[in-house]
């Protein structure tokens, strides 16, 4: 990746998982979300170093972070992991975090990919889920 324009603030979308993390970043105008390469987690510490670099490289001001919930809206194991990640991002990366309900994003991403007939590789669903999370947030800002 190349160094982005440091004067342009962007928004990062994260679809967190235990094995892979879907990532998306807004354009400079905050209108559209573009998927980034899915990050395969090898260790928590390596991921945190990677994330700090990503926030710096894209001049991220806000991170839209998926908050896993049960289908009934209750908290599950992943909810606490997202809270801990949000705390790290705010404390160590200096970006504001917005936690958003991610219940249907992976299912919607899988549906879209199936409809398009795209061959799914590991990470395609995660990347598209991050795009959907971020685009939903950006669309909400316009309203």
Provide the 3-class DSSP secondary structure of residue 72.
Answer: coil
Residue 1: inside a domain = no
| Domains held by the chain: number | 1
Residue 127: inside a domain = yes
Residue 99: inside a domain = yes
Residue 4: inside a domain = no
CATH number (domain holding residue 124): 3.30.420.140
How confident is residue 44, by pLDDT bands cut at 50, 70 and 90? very high
User: 57 vs 9, 50, 81, 83, 115, CA distance in Å?
Assistant: 11, 10, 24, 23, 34
Residue 2: inside a domain = no
Residue 68: inside a domain = yes
Domain boundaries, position 82: 10-142
Residue carrying structure tokens 């971020």: 134
Mean pLDDT, residues 105-134: 81
Residue 24: inside a domain = yes
Residue 67: inside a domain = yes
Mean pLDDT, residues 118-143: 85
């Amino acid at each position: 990746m190349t160094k982005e324009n440091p004067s342009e603030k962007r928004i990062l979308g994260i679809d967190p998982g235990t094995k892979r993390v879907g990532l998306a970043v807004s354009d400079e105008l905050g209108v559209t979300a573009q998927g980034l390469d899915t990050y395969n987690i090898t260790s928590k510490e390596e991921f945190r170093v990677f994330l700090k670099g990503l926030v710096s490289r894209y001049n991220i001001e806000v991170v839209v972070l998926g908050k896993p919930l049960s289908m009934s809206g209750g908290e599950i194991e992943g909810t606490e992991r997202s809270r801990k990640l949000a705390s790290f991002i705010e404390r160590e990366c200096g970006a504001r975090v917005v936690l958003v309900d991610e219940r249907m994003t992976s299912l919607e991403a899988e549906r879209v990919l199936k409809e398009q007939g795209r061959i799914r590789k590991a990470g395609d669903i995660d990347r598209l889920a991050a795009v959907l999370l971020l685009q939903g947030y950006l669309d909400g800002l316009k309203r």
